[in-house]
């Protein structure tokens, strides 16, 4: 099959200590039915056998590079600088794509450089057979949108503000024209559990809309023992999360000046304020004050039945202290 009529897609894989899964992830990239693709692996100074495994796949269309340990966002930026493709597919080193994922989205995009492609995401626990999961397109975002601001408001909302909305779209689900990334800017390289949320907020706002594909699936692996930044509870992680929320709010504020925006983001500030308490009291206070400034009036403490009951009797702060002392989280 000739590939000159098929735009090149660059699949960028940031790699750090994923020796258990990287081979399967690379295979899932190689098995994409889209004929014109390149795979770019950026090793973030792994300390296990990840790079040795990745190097076994290196050829004309699979390249591997190593950077000093700077985090996944910096690795993705490295990959973007090396990418020759007109479209970008990010793929985490332990996740998987159905073989038709890229081809399905390219079919829906029809060569557009102003729309961003989206597909379904399936969450599965590490060790489970993801192929047995029933595929559905019943989330609110499983349709096209020609209003990026409205889409992002719904994405960041919850039932208290916009009933039926709110979600987390894992970054592998997107297929992005490189020109949109050039317009929006590269990844911010602060280490943050929400680095993808901040990045794709800019990319979506730079687009003319979202094109949803019912063909293709992103399989997102969940780990019980999470040692990545998403599972950390360090002060720097909380500070980065606050910065990410500040930035997303400011991007949307430039395009949409309405009180509902503050209500949408008040919840995010409140949740960080509660999660950071009592270990990081000053940061917690800053986040709680911002949530109250934005009019937060939702549930004060979300936990299991016992924790929620205790918070109603003792207040959320004391309930949070008890949780922290018992579980150190």
Q: Which of 283, 281, 329 is nearest to 303 (CA)?
A: 329
Residue 238 lies in a domain: no
Position 231 scores a pLDDT of 47
Position 309 scores a pLDDT of 84
CA distance 304 to 46: 37
Residue 323 lies in a domain: no
Identify the domain containing residue 203 by its residue range.
Answer: 9-222
Residue 265 lies in a domain: no
Residue 41 lies in a domain: yes
On the 0-12 / 13-18 / 19+ scale of CB atoms within 10 A, 86 is: middle
Q: Which of 166, 149, 258 is nearest to 205 (CA)?
A: 149
CA angle 207, 208, 211 (to 5 degrees): 90
Which strand ranges, in their side-by-side order, compose the sheet holding 9-15? 62-66, 37-43, 9-15, 87-90, 174-177, 115-125, 209-222, 96-97
Question: Mean pLDDT per segment of 10 residues, for the chain of length 329 residues?
Answer: 76 98 99 99 98 98 98 98 99 98 98 98 91 90 98 95 94 98 96 93 99 98 64 83 97 95 97 96 97 91 82 89 84
Q: Which of 297, 302, 304, 310 is nearest to 262 (CA)?
A: 297
Residue 149 lies in a domain: yes
Residue 291 lies in a domain: no
CA distance 180 to 176: 7
Position 1 scores a pLDDT of 43
Residue 259 lies in a domain: no
Q: Are 21 and 221 in contact (CB under 8 A)?
A: yes
Number of structural domains (the chain) is 1
Q: Is the peptide bond before 278 cis (omega within 30 degrees of 0)?
A: yes
Position 225 scores a pLDDT of 62
Q: Hey, what are 75's tokens?
A: 């690795």
For 237-306, the DSSP string reads: HHHHHHHHHHHHHHHHHHH---HHHHHHHHHHHHHHHHHHTTTTHHHHHHHHHHHHHTT--S-S----HH
Any idea what the CATH number is for the domain that residue 99 is in? Answer: 3.90.550.10
Residue 303 lies in a domain: no
């Amino acid at each position: 099959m000739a590939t000159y009529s098929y735009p090149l897609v660059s699949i960028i894989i940031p790699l750090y200590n994923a020796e258990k899964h990287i081979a399967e992830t690379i295979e899932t990239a190689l098995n994409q039915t889209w004929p014109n693709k390149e795979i770019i692996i950026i090793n973030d100074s792994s300390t296990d056998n990840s790079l040795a495994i990745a190097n076994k796949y290196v050829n004309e269309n699979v390249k591997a590079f190593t950077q000093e340990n700077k985090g996944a966002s910096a690795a993705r930026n490295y990959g973007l600088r090396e990418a020759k493709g007109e479209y970008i597919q990010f793929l985490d080193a332990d996740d998987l794509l159905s073989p038709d994922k890229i081809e399905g989205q390219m079919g829906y995009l029809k060569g557009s450089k102003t729309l961003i492609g989206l597909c379904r995401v399936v969450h599965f626990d590490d060790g489970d057979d993801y192929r047995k999961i029933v595929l559905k397109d019943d989330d609110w975002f499983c349709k096209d949108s020609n209003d990026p601001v409205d889409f992002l408001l719904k994405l960041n909302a919850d039932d208290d503000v916009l009933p039926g909305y709110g979600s987390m779209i894992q970054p592998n689900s997107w297929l992005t024209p490189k020109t949109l990334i050039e317009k929006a800017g590269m990844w911010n390289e602060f280490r943050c559990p929400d680095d993808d949320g901040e990045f794709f907020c800019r990319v979506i706002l730079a687009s003319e809309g979202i094109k949803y594909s019912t063909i293709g699936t992103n399989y997102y692996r969940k780990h019980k023992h999470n040692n990545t930044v998403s599972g950390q509870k360090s002060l720097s992680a909380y500070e980065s999360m606050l910065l990410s929320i500040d930035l997303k709010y400011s991007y949307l504020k430039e395009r949409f000046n309405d009180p509902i925006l503050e209500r949408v983001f008040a919840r995010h500030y409140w949740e960080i304020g509660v999660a950071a308490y009592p270990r990081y009291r000053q940061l917690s206070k800053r986040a709680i004050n911002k949530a109250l400034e934005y009019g937060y009036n939702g549930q004060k403490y979300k936990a299991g039945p016992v924790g929620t009951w205790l918070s109603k009797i003792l207040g959320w702060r004391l309930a949070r202290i008890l949780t922290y002392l018992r579980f150190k989280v």
